[in-house]
Amino acid sequence: MGTHAQIPLRRVVITGTGAISPFGPGVESLLTGIRDGRSAVVDLSAEWSNKIPALTCLVGAPLPEPLDPKQIERKFRRSMGPTAMMAALAAREAFNQAGLEGETLASGRVGVSFASTTGSTASLEQSFLHYFQKNFTESLGSSAFFQIMSHTCAANLAHFFGIRGRVVSPDSACASAAQAIGLGFEAIRYGLQDAMLCGGADELHAVVTGCFDLVHASSCRYNDHPDRTPRPFDAGRDGTVCGEGAGALVLESEASARARGARILAEVAGFDTVADGGHLAQPLSDSITRCLHNALDNAGVLPEGIGYVNAHGTGTVLGDAAESQAVVDVFGPQRVAMSSLKGHIGHTLGASAALETIVSLDMLTHGYLAPTRNLTEVAADCVGPDHVTTLRYQRFDAFVKNCFAFGGINTVLVVKRYEDA
């Protein structure tokens, strides 16, 4: 056996963030909505009950105003459905903040790791309407496929920004953005790229909520009171509520960021993703526990070094209980503050880990903990973590972002305050 030189691991920092969320365009509108404790969940019964009469969940968290497609030049826009458009607008904000542009993006040392559950659902629906109603596809136009393909975000982003490094799209349903951030982190950490545009996006559609309906994972008891659902970790929780949006983060090697004089927002310290290997839809707390331990080891951070867990916490009966159990197993009872942001913005699916990491970064920077909206009575099977139920002003130095997905996919990111070595 030959000997292999040890590759030194590089530190990875965040230098830009961008968002399109149910609170509107831009990171600031997202942060303001969360800080104000508002709900972005609204009644969609008029639109959805016509589309799918049997749908039981008639609420969702859409963008407050439809996107103006003309924000993106036609030659780029034509291959984008709403999912990729949201991704492009969020990414533009993130690159603007990071100060990355032009030749640097085209250098081959900058890549994209960006994902969604699927390509554009609206474009997919239009395509199948053509196919099923007319039994042919010729009149679809040239760009339908580019809007529908599973890597529509990553490919369109590379095209839009002229990026020529690696382009990957770890589409893993609700864990898409978490895996995308994790793979981007690894690419930089191992010296393969200097910067990665990371994140995820997904659009709201009755069919998507219908998929959650089918497995009884959607909320259906609060259709008359949209702002009271989802209710992560609450005794009255009855399922999740789908939202939409895009979250983008620019990850960069510490050396690159410092050489450019970029403002460093935080450090991504660790990542892990593991499979349940047991069930496609039923979360396993043991797998979440394993993923948390692995990610903390990967980050070189002890459980007591974590001040906050930003939970996956979708408001499903099984998922919230499994996550609470795992957090207690790893951190101990009442040892770590935890909240979910899905009571505010619903479950933004492929975008969720990116949007929620961006909000958690703001909490890390400004020393506060946003509560789990709608958590009024902690459910017996969710007791254990220190649930944040009201806004707290509390400084912490590192947080964990949990994110799980159908398919038995568990993903954990560890982010900490950046400090010079």
Which residues are catalytically annotated? 174, 312, 347
Q: Which of 1, 8, 53, 75 binds another protein (CB under 8 A)?
A: 75
Among positions 141, 162, 191, 367, the unique one binding another protein when judged by CB under 8 A? 141
CB 120 within 8 A of CB 147: yes
Instruction: Report which of 345, 357, 362 is spatially closest to residue 415, judged by C-alpha positions.
Output: 357
Q: Which is nearer to another protein, 143 or 223 (CB)?
A: 143
- Does residue 136 belong to the site contacting another protein (CB under 8 A)? no
Work out whether strand 167-168 and strand 110-115 pair parallel, antiparallel, or are unpaired.
parallel
Contacting another protein within 143-162 (CB under 8 A): 143
Using the rule CB under 8 A, is 4 a contact of another protein? no
Secondary structure (3-state) at 169: coil
Cα–Cα dist 118/211, whole Å: 13
CB 246 within 8 A of CB 201: yes
Q: Where are the alpha helices (DSSP H) in 277-337?
A: 285-299, 317-331
Among 136, 142, 380, 393, binds another protein (CB under 8 A): 142
DSSP 111: E
Distance of CA 363 to the CA centre of its chain: 17
- Of 4 and 75, nearer to another protein (C-beta) is 75
Q: Based on CB atoms, which residue is closest to another protein, 131 or 190?
A: 131
Per CB under 8 A, the segment of 120-128, 137-145, 220-228, 368-376 that binds another protein is 137-145
Q: Answer whether 124's CB lies under 8 Å from 56's CB.
A: no
Peptide bond into 230 cis (omega under 30): yes
Helical packing angle, 152-161 and 82-98, nearest 10°: 50
Nearer to another protein, 3 or 139 (CB): 139
Q: Is residue 133 at the binding interface for another protein, with CB under 8 A as the rule?
A: no
Region binding another protein by CB under 8 A among candidate stretches 101-109, 110-118, 136-144, 397-405: 136-144
By CB under 8 A, name the one of 3, 133, 135, 139 that touches another protein: 139
Binding to another protein by residue 135, rule CB under 8 A? no
Q: Binder to another protein among 35, 78, 221, 258 (CB under 8 A)?
A: 78
Stretch that binds another protein, among 72-80, 105-113, 167-175, 396-404 (CB under 8 A): 72-80
Contact 353, 177 (CB under 8 A): yes
Residues forming contacts to another protein in the complex (CB under 8 A) are 74-75, 78-79, 138-143
